[in-house]
Structures are given as structure tokens and as C-alpha cells.
Amino acid sequence: MTEIKLPRRDFLKAAGAAGVAGAAATTGIAACSPETQTAANASAAAPDTYLVLTNEEVAFLSAAVDTIIPADALSPSGTDCGCVVFIDGQLGGAYGGGAKMYRAGPYMKGTPEQGYQLPLTPHQFFVAGIRAANAWSEKTYGKLYDRLTPAERAEALTAWEKGVAQFDGFESRLFFQRLLQITMEGFFADPIYGGNRNKASWRMLGYPGLPATYADKVEEYRDKPIVVTEPLSIADFS
């Protein structure tokens, strides 16, 4: 079995050094206490299991989501927030299989404004896209994407974002857009889907989560930060 390189050790170092005081000052939500931080690390340290992603895909996505969401004082890395587990769950579920997607042919290339026209389901899209991105990475850098240095990963991601990278039979810009979107979903969605562990992104933003009943607060807090000690997710009410 291929060893999967996760940048978890980097995160542990960063979290230990920087703490989370900066996040609290910015958002008005109480910082993660040392206890909750430790709990988050403990859960992240348990081995993740995957429904549909291959080892190569996990390695690629870990490197990509950590480039998009690097660990710093504001949050753990994308991987440690569960973004890869989230993506796996989505691609292995109804969405990944093409639910609520019109799939009848014929397939033709249209203008960008006509929207997505590929025959691929979201899962198939990422399988093909990761393969194409890794092939491009090998051609460009001589290494798979997850083996690149952080600076190279960022440089590669920028090349996809701008659409200047020529993937074989695949549009690098479209791949980037969908990679960015599903990473954002994983980072910001309710933690019940496996991402946003310990509500890390909600703490970063100062988003209180549930139950969201503000009839008595909307005018009182017209120009004041609302102090929420702990954002609440759907799981906290279930």
C-alpha cells in the first residue's frame, strides 16, 4: 500500500505555536479552548476511511485542499478539517452519482454561459480531473501533485485557476473551479457531512450556526458583535 503523505504534522506544529487567539479577536466568538483543540486533534488523528477515493486521489486531494486552506492561526488545514473525507462522501453519494443532473445526450461543447456539458457525473469528473492534473504535474514538475513543495503546489493551482495549464483532454480551469467549490463546501458545510471538523470554519468566520432565532436580537445587535461561546451544528440538536 502506498504511503499517504498527509501534512498533519505540519498542522500540529503550527497549531501549537500560533494558538487561536487571533481568530477569537477577529470574530468575537470565543476561541477554541485548549481542551476542544486537543479533542479536534485527537479525532483528526484517527485514520480516515474512504468510500470511493483511491489512494492516489486521497493524496492529491489532501495536497490540494491544504493549499486552498492552509493551516494557520485561523483554522487547521483543509485535510484536518475533514475536507477530503467530505469530498469522498459527496462523490460516493447521490450527488457524486449524478443525482438531479440532466444526463441525456447528445453531448456537445457549448459556450461557458450554457453551463456544464460533459457526460461525466461529479464522481467521474474528479476521477478524470485528478488523473489529468497529476499527469500535468508529472510532465511539468516530474512529480505527482502531492509530492510537490508547498510553493510548487500553489504555483500549479494558480496555473489551473488561470486556465494556462494544458491538461490532456480536460479543461484545467473547469477542474479548478469545481475543486475549489467542493473544497469550500467541505470547509463551510455543517459538520454532519464529515468536513468542517470542530466547526473550525464557523469559528473562523464568527458564524454561530444553529438554532438561529434572532427576533429579539436583530435590532439590539444592529452594529454590535454577537458573542457566541460555541457555534452549534445539526448534530448538537440530534
Partner 1 sequence: MVTKLKEVDAVVVGMGWTGAILSRELTKAGLNVVGLERGPMRTPRDDFAIPAIRDELKYTNRHELFQDTAMETVSLRHAMSETALPMRRHGSFLPGTGVGGAGSHWNGATWRNLEVDYVVRSHYTEKYGRNAIPADMTVQDFGVTYAELEPHFDKFEKLCGISGQAGNLRGKKIDGGNIFEGPRANDYPNKPLARNFASSTFDTAARSLGYHPFPQPSANASEAYTNPEGATMGQCVYCGFCERYGCESNAKASPNVSVLPVLLPDPKFELRTNSYVKKLNYDRAAKKVTSVTYVDTRTGEEYEQPAGLVILGAYVFNNTLLMLYSGIGTPYDPVTGRGSVGKNYCYQYTGAGVTVFFEDAETNPFMAAGAFGTIMDDFNGDNFDHSGLGFIGGGHISAGLSNGRPIETRAVPPGTPRWGKAWKEANAKWYRRWFNVAGTAVNYAYRDNYLDLDPTYKDALGRPLIRMTYNFKENDYKIGAFLSQKSAEIAKAMNPTIMTEPRFRRGDYDSRPYQSTHNTGGTIMGTDPSTSVVNRYLQSWDASNLFIMGASVFPQNQSYNPTGPLGALAYWSADAIVNKYMKAPGPLMQA
Q: Return the residue of 70, 76, 82, 129 that touches partner 1, per CB under 8 A.
A: 70
Binding to partner 1 by CB under 8 A, coded x per residue (else -) over 122-141, reads --------------------
Residue 214 contacts partner 1 per CB under 8 A: yes
What is the C-alpha separation between 172 and 164, in angstroms, rounded? Answer: 8
Q: Return the residue of 152, 161, 178, 230 that touches partner 1, per CB under 8 A.
A: 161
Q: Which residues contact 184 (CB under 8 A, 6 or more apart)?
A: none
Nearer to partner 1, 139 or 175 (CB): 175
* Helical axes 122-141 vs 83-92, angle rounded to 10°: 130
Residue for cell digits 469522498? 88
Residue 40 contacts partner 1 per CB under 8 A: no
Nearer to partner 1, 50 or 188 (CB): 188
Residue 232 beta carbon to partner 1: minimum distance, rounded to whole angstroms: 9
What is the C-alpha separation between 92 and 85, in angstroms, rounded? Answer: 10
For strands 166-167 and 170-171, give the pairing.
antiparallel
What is the C-alpha separation between 186 and 180, in angstroms, rounded? Answer: 10
Measure the N-to-C terminal CA separation of the chain; round to a whole number of Å.
38
Residues that bind partner 1 (CB under 8 A): 23, 26-28, 67-70, 72, 74-75, 94-95, 98-104, 106, 108, 110-117, 154, 157, 161, 180, 183-185, 188-190, 192-193, 201-202, 204-215, 217-219, 221-226, 234, 236-238
